């Protein structure tokens, strides 16, 4: 074996990168003096790209595959190196491996509340948070614009900037969407797509892309959420008078409860006072007790009517009677009053049915 063949065998090198950190985006292949042996084997795995930088200038980008580093498959690097034909020697270049896989489960969130105008609540502040994925779309551009000469570049070094871009575009998108706060939970997927589209042009200038962006939650300030919960509770309770009577009866029936004992004591005291009052009114001469006061008059209902998708009222029963005479209220008119379970036809309401009693025929001789 000749000395040239021996030296050629010593120049054989294997260049590859395996990563198990799950957050390294760029890694520089280290060799003493950055000497890459001519004829070395370069292995680029799926989800990777290899970028050659020669004397500070980006030379070649290799996609997944197995390469033998010779002049015939490195045209750009060959022109930069100015190799003479037949001369084989190490060349000094830096090799950066770039991960082109998706980096998932990256977090984003609004550090400060976003102020917007809501159709239900007026000026409102909301917060939001979620996750996104990022991927290197252009390894050469990413290396030039972001990485520079960093020998080991991780996702944490770029996610802070991406989070700022996401929050900025989210704030603008949610303020311009016009979606009510109560309906945002049903539109998080659409908002996520809008935000991803808005930031795609910005991150593309870095050589990146955002394949996915998710909005996990949109929340209101604590005081607003408390008021909303109270409003919901009132809606669940239904008729407030009936709810309070039920609560009072429940407190009376709670055996051993403080409220039941207190109400029982009050009931006994009231009964005793009533018996004493009767005795005083009766007296030793047997006079009759004073007549009890009359009960309070019944509360007159007021009614709302619905016509052509709009509501009118409230109207008293007397006013509705005049409207029947005038032809403004018919049997099929939908009416509602407090305590009624939904809208009903006027004819189906017992209190109003008498307004539609058939008029008597004309008197004889008329």
Read off the tokens for 333.
């008119």
Read off the tokens for 6.
């021996």
Helix (H, G, I), strand (E, B) or coil at 16: coil
Strand 94-99 to 310-315 pairing? unpaired
Classified by CATH at the fold level, domain 303-356 comes out as Dna Ligase; domain 1 (3.30.1490)
Q: How many Å apart are CA 8 and CA 45, to the nearest integer? A: 26
Q: Which of 254, 272, 276 is nearest to 263 (CA)?
A: 254
pLDDT of amino acid 245: 76
Read off the tokens for 293.
């006061």
Read off the tokens for 103.
């980096």
Read off the tokens for 166.
């996401």
User: Residues with Cβ < 8 Å from 248, sequence gap 6 or more?
Assistant: none
Helix (H, G, I), strand (E, B) or coil at 43: strand
| Spans of the chain below 70 pLDDT | 1-12, 32-34, 71-91, 234-240, 243, 246, 253-290, 297-299, 358-363, 366
252, 260 contact by CB (below 8 A): yes
User: Which residue matches tokens 């311009």?
Assistant: 176
Task: Tell which CATH classification among 3.20.20.70, 1.10.3720.10, 3.30.479.30, 3.90.1170.30 matches the domain 103-223.
Answer: 3.30.479.30
DSSP 8-state assignment for residue 286:
T
User: Residues with Cβ < 8 Å from 187, sequence gap 6 or more?
Assistant: 177, 179
Q: How many Å apart are CA 361 and CA 213, to the nearest integer? A: 76
pLDDT of amino acid 340: 82
In order, the DSSP letters of 250-304 are HHHHSTT-HHHHHHHHHHHHHHHHHHHHHHHHHTTTTPPPPPPPPPPPPPPP-EE
pLDDT in tens, 155-187: 999 999 999 999 988 888 888 888 888 888 888
Q: How many Å apart are CA 120 and CA 176, to the nearest integer? A: 16
DSSP 8-state assignment for residue 220:
-
Q: Is the pTM of this model over 0.85?
A: no
Q: How far is CA 283 from CA 143, 265, 288, 330, in A?
A: 108, 27, 9, 60
How far apart, in Å, do the first and last CA atoms of the chain sit? 141
pLDDT of amino acid 4: 40
pLDDT in tens, 53-90: 877 788 889 999 998 877 555 655 555 555 444 445 56
């Amino acid at each position: 074996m000749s000395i040239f063949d021996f030296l050629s065998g010593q120049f054989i090198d294997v260049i590859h990168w395996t990563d198990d950190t799950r957050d390294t985006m760029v890694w520089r292949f280290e060799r003493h003096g950055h000497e890459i042996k001519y004829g070395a084997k370069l292995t680029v795995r799926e989800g990777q790209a290899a970028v050659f930088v020669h004397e500070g200038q980006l030379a070649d980008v290799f996609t997944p595959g197995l390469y033998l580093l010779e002049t015939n498959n490195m045209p750009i690097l060959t022109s930069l190196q100015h190799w003479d034909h037949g001369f084989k020697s190490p060349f000094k270049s830096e090799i950066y491996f770039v991960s082109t896989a998706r980096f998932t489960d990256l977090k984003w969130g609004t550090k400060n509340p976003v102020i917007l105008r809501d159709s239900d609540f007026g000026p409102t502040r909301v917060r939001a948070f979620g996750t996104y994925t990022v991927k290197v779309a252009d390894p050469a551009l990413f290396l030039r614009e972001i990485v520079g000469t960093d020998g080991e570049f991780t996702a944490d070094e770029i996610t802070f900037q991406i989070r700022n871009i996401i929050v900025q575009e989210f704030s603008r998108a949610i303020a311009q969407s016009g979606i009510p706060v109560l309906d945002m939970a049903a539109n998080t997927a659409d908002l996520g797509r809008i935000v991803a589209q808005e930031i795609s042009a910005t991150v593309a200038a870095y050589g990146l892309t955002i394949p996915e962006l998710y909005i996990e939650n949109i929340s209101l300030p604590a005081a607003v959420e408390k008021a909303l919960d109270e409003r919901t509770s009132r809606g669940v309770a239904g008729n407030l008078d009936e709810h309070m009577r039920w609560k009072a009866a429940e407190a009376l029936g709670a055996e051993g409860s403080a409220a039941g004992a207190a109400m029982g004591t009050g009931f006994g005291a009231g009964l005793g006072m009533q018996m004493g009052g009767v005795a005083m009114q009766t007296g030793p001469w047997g006079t009759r007790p004073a007549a009890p006061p009359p009960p309070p008059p019944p509360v007159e209902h007021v009614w709302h009517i619905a016509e052509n998708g709009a509501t009118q009222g409230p109207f008293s029963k007397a006013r509705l009677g005049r409207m029947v005479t005038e032809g403004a209220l018919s049997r099929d008119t939908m009416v509602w009053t407090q305590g009624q379970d939904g809208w009903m036809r006027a004819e189906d309401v017992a209190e109003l049915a008498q307004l539609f009693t058939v008029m008597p025929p004309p008197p004889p001789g008329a």
